[in-house]
Structures are given as structure tokens and as C-alpha cells.
Amino acid sequence: MNTAQLWQSALGELEILLSRPNFSTWFKETSILSYENERVIVGVPNLFTKTWLEKKYHTMIIKAIRNVASISIKDVVYKVEVLDAARKKAVQAFPSTQATFVASYGADTPRPGIGESPHPSGLNPKYTFENFIVGKYCELANAACLAVAAQPGEVYNPLFIYGGVGLGKTHLLQAVGHEILKKDPSKRILFVTCEKFTNDFIQAVRSGRGKELKDTYRTVDVLIIDDIQFLSSKEGSQEEFFHTFNTLHQTNRQLVIASDRPPKAIPAIESRLLSRLEWGMIADITSPDLETRIAILETKCKDKNVELSSEVINFIATMVHSNIRELEGALNRILAFMQLNATPLSFEKIKQILSSITTSYAKKSITPKQIILIVSEFYNIEVPDIIGECRKKELAMPRQIIMYLMREEIKCSFPLIGTELGGRDHTTAIHAYNKVKRDAEQSPKVKQDLDLIRQRIYNI
């Protein structure tokens, strides 16, 4: 096993544990420089990354390396080293990291100027319709995307796709862009994350480059915006987006938008913008069924030219059911092990690898405070309000949801739940738990909120 392979497998582990932006921000352009005296030296691109890895991810990194290495490792140290062109290429060839670079810019990454992105359209060649597997769970979204790609600006405008993390929204959005370009390379497509749009807007305001912003966003044939839920509470950006939307829509140019929830559920969004988001077609993506998960694994194996028995594929598909990103992560990890060992792994060994993944998901310890934070963020409410006294419905419902999730997800005792929520009585917690449980059975909206919040809890 050489150091490149070792690092690649360790990255495979880390990718599963971290959110996508975190992973891409902190681990791109890293490598193992050397291994001596049971000590691994990890090369990082700058001091900022070095400090961050030391402070935040050191334990996780050591664990990841130990997990995949057959050699003894006592310590990991970080060293700033700028990669030369050849090494940079090798590092970026790592399949799962590459995909993340297009859409997210971390704090230490030089931010492109307005509208600039590594590729002019912001599209990543990895995400096309050809390699998107369609199952019942995403049939409507896929069909709508195909229809829009066939006749941009003419059928559904805007097209709004929503669903939880890792379910293929970004993939589909990008596929629309590719498909349109394939048929007509002269079309001007712009794919941006909502974060990029917001940053561009702020930058334009600061530097008085409003015209440049308009020239970039209001002149394209197709504007694709990912994760629009982040417009919540950003009034200036909402206004800019509202006008951008109008300009494009009035001239029959296509908008494709993705979000982790339906338009109505995006908190703090202006009603005139909300109504526009609902103008065209809204399609959701739910969780993939077992059959689709199997089909996805089979295709990914074929793409990578590896063979896994159907027994193994079934096993992975059964164990990893939350989303497709995790499914891919699990597969990559197994393939990395296979590569390192050069011989086919026994079924027992694969089982062992997978069970360590599934327990590492389960173990990712979630605290009552995290649940409070995530639910407050989800409903766009301040923490002191959510744990405070006020009984307004807008606060009471999220508060009850917190109590329910504390019980359901992390098995807190009712007295502890009461304490965490500003010293409430345990009977209040019991009442809240029962109420939300009932509501979840009767109201699709409550059930959907709970699903989306759970996805956030398990994907932080």
C-alpha cells in the first residue's frame, strides 16, 4: 500500500463523516507527504487549513487513517506544502472529492468574481442524465427535468425540485444544464448555488458593481440555482433574485431551482417571491426504495469496472438506506478496501466494514442542544424564543417537535427534556411527545417537516 492509496481510503472514511462543503473545503489538495517512525505527515495547501485540521479534525483524521491502514500509526502532523501541477492533478482525480469543487467555495478558497466559476457554466461533467438512475421515488422530478431540458423556457417555468440531502437534486439540476448545452452549445447556462448568488450580490453592492451582476445573471438563457432555501431571511438577495426572476421569466428564459423543502416551507421568504417559486412545476424527490438502491449500486460498480456479488450489493443497499450520497460513500469505502488488499474481500470482511460504517452513523452522537439548534434553524426561530415562555403557535409547535425528537431520536428522559427546554415540567414533555406523534400520523406536513429535520440531524 502506498501513501496515495492510504490517503485516498482515509478520505473515503472522512467523506462519510463530514458534510459535503466541509469535506471539500478542508480536504481538497491534501495528501500524505510521508510516513516515518509511525508518524504520518499530511500536506495541506495553506496555514489556515493546517490550523483548522489540527483543531477540529485531528482525532477524526487519525482514526480514519488507523481504520484503513495496516501499519501502526502513533501520530499525524500537518505541513503546509503547495502542490506542484502533477500532484495537484493526481489529488483532484480522487473521484468523490472532485464533484464537490464546482459548487462550494470554502472560507480559504479564493472566491471567484461575479458569475465566475471554475467552469464558465458552473457545470460538473460528472452529473448527467445518462448516469442518473431513475426509480419511482424520483420519477416526476426526472421527467420534469427532461421536459425542461428538451424545451427550455417553454414547458414549466420555473421548475422547482425539492427533497432531502443526498437524493440527487444537484445531479438532476446539472443534468438539465448539460442536456441543453448538448443540443445547443450556444445556449448560455449558469449554474450557481444560492450561496454563490448571495455572495455575488453582497460583493456587487459593496463594490458598486450592480451592473456587472445584472449582466451576469439577467442575460443567461437558463439560470439554475441550487439550495434556494438559503435565501431565507436574506432580504437584499431575495429582492435581487426577485428581479432577476422576473427579467428572465418575462423573456421565456428558463429557471431551474432546487431546495431541501417546498417553497411554502421556506421560512422568512417574501410572499411575492414565494408565489413566483410556485408558478411553474414543483416536483419532489423522496427516499429511494430498495430496488433503486440496488440498481444504483450496480451501475456505479459497472462504471468503476468492479464486480460485487449480488449478495454483497443487496447487503449494502439494505444497510444504507438514508440517501444516495451515503450509499456511494459506503460503496467507495468497500472498493478502497478491495484496492488496498488487491484480492477480493470475503463476504464476512465486507460485512465487517459495513457494520463499522453503519455503527459510525449511529454513534455520531447527537446532543439535545444540537436538536434544539437544528429545529430552530429549520423554522428560523431564535433559540431563546424556542425554549422561552411564549405560547404562540409559531413557537409552540417547533418546541413540541424538539421534545418529540429528543425522545424519539436520542432517548432522553422526559424530565431531562423538560430541563433542556428552559426548565419545563416532565408532563409537558410527555404531552408534547404524544401530540407530535399523533400529528405525524395525521398531517403530511408535520411528517414531512420531521423527515427533513431528521435528515439535517443525521447529515451534519
Task: Using CB under 6 A, list all residues that contact ligand ADP.
Answer: 99, 127, 131-133, 165-171, 296, 324-325, 328
Query: To the nearest whole angstrom, how small is the minimum distance from the Cβ of residue 169 to Mg ion?
Result: 5
Q: Stretches 83-91, 164-172, 355-363, 393-401: which one binds Mg ion (CB under 5 A)?
A: 164-172
Nearest partner of 196 among 124, 113, 87, 277, judged by Cα: 113
- Count of residues that interact with Mg ion, criterion CB under 5 A: 2
Closer residue to Mg ion in complex, CB, 328/420: 328
Our CB check for Mg ion shows the closer of 165 and 412 to be 165
The nearest distance, CB 228 to ligand ADP, in angstroms, is 12
Q: Which stretch binds Mg ion (CB under 5 A): 52-60, 162-170, 266-274, 309-317?
A: 162-170
What is the residue whose three cell numbers read 482525480? 93
Which is nearer to ligand ADP, 424 or 456 (by Cβ)? 456
Query: What's the closest the beta carbon of residue 226 comes to Mg ion, in angstroms?
Result: 6
Q: How far is the CB of 436 from ligand ADP (least distance, A)?
A: 26
Three-class SS of the chain: CCHHHHHHHHHHHHHHHCCHHHHHHHHCCCEEEEEECCEEEEEECCHHHHHHHHHHHHHHHHHHHHHHCCCCCCEEEEEECCCCHHHHHHHHCCHHHHHHHCCCCCCCCCCCCCCCCCCCCCCCCCCCCCCCCCCHHHHHHHHHHHHHHHCCCCCCCCEEEEECCCCCHHHHHHHHHHHHHHHCCCCCEEEEEHHHHHHHHHHHHHHCCHHHHHHHHCCCCEEEEECHHHHCCCHHHHHHHHHHHHHHHHCCCEEEEEECCCHHHCCCCCHHHHHHHCCCEEEEECCCCHHHHHHHHHHHHHHCCCCCCHHHHHHHHHHCCCCHHHHHHHHHHHHHHHHHHCCCCCHHHHHHHHHHHHHHHHHCCCCHHHHHHHHHHHHCCCHHHHHCCCCCHHHHHHHHHHHHHHHHHHCCCHHHHHHHCCCCCHHHHHHHHHHHHHHHHHCHHHHHHHHHHHHHHHHC
Q: In this complex, which beta carbon is closest to ligand ADP, that of residue 123 or of residue 429?
A: 123
From ligand ADP, Mg ion, none, which one binds at residue 177 (CB under 5 to 8 Å depending on kind)?
A: none
User: What residues from 235 to 264 belong to the interface with Mg ion (CB under 5 A)?
Assistant: none
Closest to ligand ADP by CB, 97 or 216: 97
Cβ of residue 20: shortest distance to Mg ion, in angstroms?
A: 8
170 binds Mg ion (CB under 5 A): yes
Q: Tell me the residue nearest to Mg ion as measured from the CB.
A: 170
- Using the minimum distance from each CB to ligand ADP, give the nearer residue, 49 or 96: 96
Residue 325 or 424 with smaller CB distance to ligand ADP? 325
Burial class (CB in 10 A: 0-12, 13-18, 19+), 120: exposed
Residue 332 CB, nearest approach to ligand ADP (Å): 10
| Partner whose binding site includes residue 181, from Mg ion, ligand ADP, none (CB under 5 to 8 Å by kind) | none
The distance of closest approach from Cβ of residue 317 to ligand ADP in the complex, given in angstroms and rounded to an integer, is 13
In angstroms, give the least distance from the CB of 131 to ligand ADP. 6
Q: Which is nearer to ligand ADP, 290 or 390 (CB)?
A: 290
Could you say which of ligand ADP, Mg ion, none residue 221 binds, taking C-beta under 5 to 8 angstroms by partner kind? none
Which CB, 43 or 163, lies closer to ligand ADP?
A: 163
| Nearest-angstrom CA–CA distance, 270 and 94 | 41
Choose the one of ligand ADP, Mg ion, none that binds residue 32, judging by a C-beta under 5 to 8 angstroms depending on kind: none
Distances (CA, A) of 179 to 102, 122, 124, 163, 258: 18, 14, 12, 22, 17
CB of 261 to ligand ADP, least distance (A): 12
Instruction: In whole angstroms, give the CA distance from residue 222 to residue 415.
Output: 54
Q: How far apart are CB 313 and ligand ADP at their closest, in Å? A: 14
Is 100 an interacting residue with respect to Mg ion (CB under 5 A)? no
Per partner kind, with CB cut-offs from 5 to 8 A, the member of ligand ADP, Mg ion, none near residue 152 is none
The option from Mg ion, ligand ADP, none interacting with 158 (CB < 5 to 8 A, set by class) reads: none
Task: Give the nearer residue to Mg ion in terms of CB position, either 123 or 353.
Answer: 123
Residues of this chain that bind Mg ion (CB under 5 A)? 169-170
